[in-house]
Copies of this chain bind each other. A is one copy, B any other.
Amino acid sequence: MSIEQDIRRIGERAKRAASAARKASTADKNNALARIAAAIKASAEALLRANAEDLDRARAAGLDAPSLDRLALTRDGIDSISEGLLQIQALQDPVGQISQLSARPNGLEIGKMRTPIGVVGIIYESRPNVTIDAAGLCIKSGNAAILRGGSECISTNRALFECIQKGLEDAGMEDGWIQLVQTTDREAVGALLGLDDLVDLIIPRGGKGLIERVSRETRIPILKHLDGNCHLFVHEDADLGMAQSLVLNGKTQRYAVCNALETVLLHRALPQAFLNQLMLALQAEGVEIRVCEDTRARLAAPDQVQLAEVSDWSTEYLAPILAIKTCDDLDDAIRHINQYGSNHTDVIVTAGLSAAQQFLREVDSSSVMVNASSRFADGFEYGLGAEIGISTDKLHARGPVGLEGLTSEKFVVMGTGQIRS
């Protein structure tokens, strides 16, 4: 059987499983999650052995330390993956929830009911926890899932998938509900992206190369984020201590994450002393600064920073580098963010209600924050439980996507025999 036929067969099985998944009761879904969590705990040794195989292969292939780190599974990591399923179990089941129910003049009662999307394909790189997070979220939201992990993690993913199968079997559920693409051949991704008659949604999680490939090659709707070029604007009325603390946390708490700050915008009326103190604090953390000319003109030590180029405004550094720009006012800052940002997460620091309201309303990003660290843009921090990804697209779901983003709403209409005249 060719890879294409093999993947099509997986898609057809997922489509059938989606019918059963849509009907599953909350109790059955929760039971399946608990059984999988138990199977993972019971399989710790086998999971560590499988992960060691992946790590050996990766070391032999010369993977760098951060990549090895992302790949590695520890005993604590296994506990926390298993724990994650129990957290999903504790979340409210969105399926079947009815909202906006109201009666029309003719007596029809019309509302919206949350319903699973159907078949979700998830294409991801390294991090073995994604296999379980994605499976858990799809089970709870009543969707069938086709998982395609990175080849560097295939042994671990296969071992985790055995736990999923065992858990579903123990719970008496159809095991086609969650499927793992077993081949590491890249052709399998292309075949999956071609199943537009069977797959309802593709979620790519990984580097820019992966996400661009997926966007280019499929006609299936996708939920994705390409860049996290996050901004923080310090308004003239900001609490300056708070502003400094939020800049430092947003930039330096972790560098290689999509919700780290990449550009800070400063209101022109802020005191020069604040600017210089912020600069020193960032430099003490080893952060390289790139500034606009206006900002440099106000620095005590202008020769210690680089001038930013236009390309800096749209760069996601994912590194200890920060761009700083002086803005004339709030409008100017909002314009800059909407022009150069990536619709991910942007923050204002202000004590003023009207500035906060304007910023929240006019910044066109998936998360817009007042007086909080950009690092909070995350499904777990938002109380969604796990997240299956972060969307910077504008349709369907924006920001961290949890159970609700894996469902959509259909209209339900209840009558007593009304006909249209």
Contact = CB atoms under 8 A, between A and B. Distances in A.
A419 B113 contact: no
Contacts of A367: 410-413
Interface in A112-171: 113, 115, 117-118
Interface of A: 19, 22-23, 95-96, 102, 104, 108, 110, 113, 115, 117-118, 200-201, 215-216, 219, 221, 239, 242, 245-246, 249, 253, 335, 338, 356, 360-362, 364-373, 375-377, 381-383, 393-400, 408-421
Contact of A369 (B377, B393, B415): B415
A22 B414 contact: no
B383 A408 contact: no
B395 A396 contact: yes
Contacts of A398: 408-411
A60 B376 CA distance: 64
Q: Which of A245, A371, A415 has the most CB of B within 10 A?
A: A415
B376 A417 contact: no
Q: Is the interface of A mostly helix, strand, loop or mixed?
A: mixed
B364 A420 contact: no
Contact of A361 (B96, B246, B356, B408): B96
A394 B202 CA distance: 13
A126 B368 CA distance: 41
A371 B107 CA distance: 12
Taken together, the copies of this chain in the complex come to 2
A393 B23 contact: no
Contacts of A417: 239, 242, 245-246, 371-372
Contacts of A382: 104, 110, 411, 413
Contacts of A23: 361-362
A383 B117 contact: no
Contact of A413 (B364, B368, B409): B368
B412 A360 contact: yes
Q: 7 closest A-B pairs (Cβ-Cβ)?
A: A372-B415, A249-B419, A242-B417, A375-B420, A369-B413, A396-B396, A399-B411
Nearest to A254: B420
B368 A420 contact: no
Nearest to A335: B19
Contacts of A19: 335, 338
Nearest to A417: B242
18 contacts: A23-B361, A23-B362, A113-B361, A117-B395, A215-B219, A245-B417, A246-B419, A253-B420, A253-B421, A356-B414, A360-B412, A364-B410, A369-B415, A373-B415, A375-B419, A375-B420, A376-B420, A381-B420
Nearest to A110: B382
Contacts of A364: 22, 115, 118, 410
